Amino acid sequence: MAQRFVRVQSQSGQLHYGLLQPDYSVQVLDAPPWLQGQVTDVELVADAYQLMAPCAPSKVIAVGKNYAAHAAEMGGELPEEPLLFMKPSTAVTSHLAPVFYPPQSQQVDYEGELALVIGDRCVDCSEAEASEKIWGYTIANDITARDLQRRDSQWVRAKGFDSFCPLGPWIVRELSPEAQIQTVLNDREAPVQMGSIADMIFKPAVLVAYISQIMTLLPGDVILTGTPEGVGPLQIGDRVRVKIEGIGALENTIKPRI
Ligand code: MG
């Protein structure tokens, strides 16, 4: 099994990066792994920590309409260059954490996506350099208030609510370029989204190079690579799982915002 890199909070409230073991204990690292964190002799047993989002990005850059079938279902043309937007770092939440349904919206959608984790400062990179800057891969759900997205020409509000960026559960370093991505709702057997990351219009290294021509990417920053077709609404009480072959499954439950 591929190594799984996690970020956890111990019972005393300390945050640690670590390596998840098959028995769900965590071997603590002395720094983020992309900053050459080394294994320490501290080990947290399975019930002695809480899983957090696997990195703490300074920013989350997301790409719209990066799968042709999804661009079609949104009624738009295929973009000629990557269509970028941002989610605030405060939108990031973890595997199994609640996603809060905001009272301002009547339609909150799931969007299962592959997330890239940047390992090294990245400015004006070529595609070849950019692929070296991608440290690993995790799963994201680009939660979107669709009605607000339609109403606004800028998507900050629709995409930026607290808890609208579940990330995790962990980071892996290698991924098949043809990995399957699926989104599953509740206990339904048939996925609501099913695609292959091979169908991205702009591939990971192209996206990282493109973004690095605009803004400096820092270690731990995250890029959401777009969602395949089949986006749809969530209701309070729903359980949504995004699965990517070779990584795992990111699960969240929709709760009312109090
Ligand atoms: Mg998206």
Instruction: Give the distance (Å) from ligand 1 centre to CA of residue 3.
Output: 27
Instruction: Give the distance (Å) from ligand 1 centre to CA of residue 41.
Output: 39
3-state secondary structure 192-206: CEEEEHHHECCCHHH
SS3 209: helix
**pLDDT single digits (tens) 211-257:** 999 999 999 999 999 999 999 999 999 999 999 999 999 999 999 98
| pLDDT confidence of residue 76 | 77
CATH number at residue 9: 2.30.30
45 and 67 share a domain? no
Give the percent of the chain with pLDDT over 90: 93
| pLDDT confidence of residue 194 | 96
| pLDDT confidence of residue 153 | 92
Query: Which regions in the chain score pLDDT beneath 50?
Result: none
Q: Which residues contact 37 (CB under 8 A, 6 or more apart)?
A: 17, 29, 30, 31
Q: Residue 43 belongs to what domain range?
A: 4-51
Instruction: Give the distance (Å) from ligand 1 centre to CA of residue 93.
Output: 16
| pLDDT confidence of residue 243 | 98
Q: Count of domains in the chain?
A: 2
For residue 35, CA distances in Å to 30, 68, 124, 151, 179 come to 10, 36, 21, 41, 27
| pLDDT confidence of residue 92 | 98
41 and 93 share a domain? no
